[in-house]
Amino acid sequence: MTARGKLKLAIKSIAAKSIVASIFILHVEGFSRGAPDAACTHMIPGHGGSPKPLPAPFAIAADKVAINSGENVQVAIGSLPSSPGLFKGFLINARDATTNEVIGTFEVPLDDSGRLMKCSGGTQNGVTHANNARKQRVVLTWQSPANFEGDVVFRGTFVEDYSNYWVNVESERVRVSRSIPFDKAETPLPITTPELSIFTVASTTEKTWPPTTTKATTALLTTQKAKPTGTPLWSFTTTVKAEESVKSHPIYNGCGATKGCFGMPNGCINTGDCDIVASYSVKGDRYEFELRGLLEQASGGYLAIGFSQDAAMGDDTVTECLYKPSQVQNVDVFNSINKGKNNIPYSKQGAKLLSSSVEDGYMYCKFEREQNLGTDGVITDLAMKHHLLLSRGAISGDRISYHGQNKASSAEPISIASLSGVTSRSDVLIRVHGSMMIVAWIWAASCGILFARYFKQTWVGKQFMGKDLWFVFHRLLMVLVWSLTMISFIIIFSEIGGWSSIPSYINPHPILGCVTTGLAFVQPIMAYFRPHPGTSKRALFNWAHWFVGNAAHIVGVATIFLAIELPKAGFTGNPGVMYWLLGSYVAFHVTIHLIFSVHQCCQSSRDDDKDFALKEFSGHRNGIASFNMERKEDAPGSTLRKLLLALYILFVSAIGAALIAMVALSP
């Protein structure tokens, strides 16, 4: 093979890794860190599927319906009081109602919930989400263009989750008039705008937007569609006070003193910001419970507490609070049992709803439950100790849907009469799984591939137990990759209790993890049955061994990228550092391989007979190149190769350590 051919082969291999890694970077970045600028035109997320029909459970409102050109308007986006819910993503811009042109500019949100966009060649004329944390409301500041006159409408997209999104949600029109000196203007006709309250701005004081009087011409009277006065879309509160109201909810009062409490994630009871929390107490012969948690969807949802003997779903009794906004009594309490992985409702008897509320995207319910409840051989005596199971999710009719990752179980069985706080089941095995995969595929596999590809003519004549040093290092690292991958694979299936509940079209991490494990598993088996050097099938084996090894590495790294978006990973609120670390690794890995490949081909071009590393791609025996026995010195450039190797190992070790620290310290 000529030097040019070798360089082409190396570049193709590196390019394949770069392209696949880039695809996965774009996939995860696109979902969690906002829409690309190109989405400003069609407003449709790149998730696949179709948008939900309008009207949406979310809305857009401006604090004014008439302004002068160059003035600011505060624009609120979020859920309606009649259908409280949370959204993860959004995209919004302002349009000329006549030409549909994107106009005006936005300011950066004070709470860092969004980032500015460049729509249609403009600048700062759109806003999208900066992370995929759940949001109920976001307030933006928009400035109208100078010397503009006409109607403006704010158009947006809301993303509730990967498969549920609404496109082209529009606000009421805002009339923008060109500013002119008052003494030159015609006598204005007064128009009183409707009182409009908007929500949550970065302020420490409450404020209500009062009716205002605006100068207008006759044209304004005929084109402006003033919204009739009445109940405002939202009540106006402040960010600070909203957070305080969440943390001061009465359900947290008395935890550990007058009642027992259990919530998720771990430690949330102390901070008062649980995704779902339960309190329990015994009052005479009555068992009293409270549940409070985030609603998954504005169209309804449930909170549930179960009582189990083994901290896992199956043969348990469950009491759930269901929220149905379409009904007069929109919150009710039911009983059910878990038979295997199926939840079966059976009766409302034995559970009595005492009070309930739905506000700020949270549902709260308080109920009493009888001591002994159950059916079909599944009976729970609350006087006995049980593991507590918590879950929340969506509903389908009168049935609760699968909770996915929105679940927790107590680490130990507890007595309902106990007043102590309960610790949820540890997620240490998930962190161990993630750490092992990082060591295996970011560190060990990367270094092992480097030894096999570029160091067959380094440390010539130096052996360990009859094997060349490059082969010793390569085999040791690949055994480590295989062992860590197999152990990690077993750990995660044991912890999850089966297959992941996340659909593969939303996040293919589980499927790609299985593909990675399968490729890693067969690689040493292939190596064991390698044909002897010089035989007709040896070249076929070499290509197969090369392909499987590189495919496993590429898919393994891509799988780690996708893990960042998983709820159990704990990075969904702020994944930026993880993306930065992994992106730095990919860039450095590709750069080092390019340097090695160019250096190798330059050396080969000087003496084509010295086909050092790539010539041996056609065959070797026991990891010792046949011509190593003849040459007793390293190939030219060994000092540079060793320096690059040391630099690579140091960098990859630092990246790996930082990634493991992030996994260990994630919320």
Q: State residue 53's pLDDT score.
A: 87
Q: pLDDT higher for 271 or 515?
A: 515
Dihedral sign computed on CA atoms, order 440, 443, 446, 451: negative
Q: Alpha-carbon distance 137 to 129, whole Å?
A: 12
Distant-in-sequence, close-in-space partners of 104: CB < 8 Å, separation ≥ 6: 94, 125, 142, 143, 144, 145, 152
Q: What is the pLDDT of residue 43?
A: 84
- Position 13 scores a pLDDT of 56
Measured CA distances, 171 to 236, 297, 398 (Å): 18, 22, 34
Is 80 exceeded by the pLDDT of residue 26?
A: no
Q: Where are any strands of DSSP class E within 15-136? A: 58-62, 66-68, 72-79, 89-96, 105-106, 114-117, 126-129
| Least confident among 356-360, 386-390, 423-427, 450-454 | 423-427
Query: In this predicted structure, what is the pLDDT of residue 127?
Result: 92
Instruction: Kindly tell me if the per-residue pLDDT of 520 is higher than 70.
Output: yes
CA 616/CA 613 separation, integer angstroms: 6
pLDDT at 204 (0 to 100):
31
pLDDT at 221: 26
Confidence at residue 199, expressed as pLDDT on a 0 to 100 scale: 35
What residue ranges define each of the domains in the chain, with the CATH number in brackets? 39-241 (2.60.40.4060), 251-409 (2.60.40.1210), 427-665 (1.20.120)
Preceding peptide of 55 cis, ω within 30°: yes
Residue 437 or residue 264, greater confidence = 437
Q: Is the pLDDT of residue 588 over 60?
A: yes
Question: Residue 392: pLDDT above 50?
Answer: yes
- Using the predicted structure, report yes or no on whether residue 347 has a pLDDT greater than 80: no
Q: What is the mean pLDDT of residues 465-489?
A: 91
Distances (CA, A) of 447 to 182, 296, 443, 490, 588: 75, 44, 6, 24, 13
Per-residue pLDDT tens digits for 449-471: 999 888 888 888 788 888 888 88
DSSP state of 593: H
**291: pLDDT confidence band, cut at 50, 70 and 90?**
very high
The answer to whether 154 and 179 have CB atoms below 8 angstroms apart is no
Q: Can you give the pLDDT at residue 501?
A: 60
Burial class (CB in 10 A: 0-12, 13-18, 19+), 349: exposed
SS3 575: coil
Residue 393 has pLDDT above 80, yes or no: yes
User: Model confidence over 32-56: pLDDT tens digits?
Assistant: 567 787 788 788 887 666 788 888 8
H/E stretch holding 307 reads strand 301-308
The region of weakest confidence among 199-208, 342-351, 527-536, 639-648 is 199-208
Instruction: Return the higher-pLDDT residue of 644 and 568.
Output: 644
| Least confident span in 331-340, 541-550, 588-597 | 331-340
Residue 364: partners with Cβ closer than 8 Å, 6 or more residues away: 249, 251, 290, 291, 292, 355, 356, 357, 358
In sequence order, the 6+-apart residues with CB closer than 8 A to the CB of 533 are 619, 620, 621, 626
The span from the CA of 621 to the CA of 542, in Å, is 12
**Beta-bridge mates of residue 208:** none
C-alpha distances in angstroms, 667 versus 102, 266, 573?
Answer: 40, 8, 10
pLDDT band per the 50, 70, 90 thresholds, residue 193 = very low
Residue 359 has pLDDT above 90, yes or no: no
Calculate mean pLDDT across residues 522-527: 87
DSSP 228: P
**pLDDT mean over 215-220:** 30
Return the higher-pLDDT residue of 144 and 380. 144
Q: What is the pLDDT of residue 147?
A: 85
Average pLDDT, the chain: 76
* pLDDT surpasses 90 at 554: yes
Range 487-499 average pLDDT: 84
Q: What does the pLDDT look like over 79-125, one tens digit per residue?
A: 876 666 788 889 999 999 988 899 999 987 766 778 888 888 888 89
Burial of 300 (0-12, 13-18, 19+ CB in 10 A): buried
CB atoms within 10 A of CB 68: 17
% of the chain beyond a pLDDT of 70: 70
What is the per-residue pLDDT for 185? Answer: 40
Span 509-530, mean pLDDT? 90
Give the whole-angstrom CA distance, residue 211 versus residue 208. 10
Predicted local distance difference test score (pLDDT) of residue 408 = 84
Q: What is the pTM of this model?
A: 0.47
The whole-number pLDDT of residue 287 equals 85
Q: Is the pLDDT reported for residue 304 higher than 80?
A: yes
- pLDDT tens for 272-284 read 888 899 999 887 6
Please compute the mean of the pLDDT values over residues 143-170 and round it to a whole number: 89
d(C-alpha 503, C-alpha 45), whole Å: 18
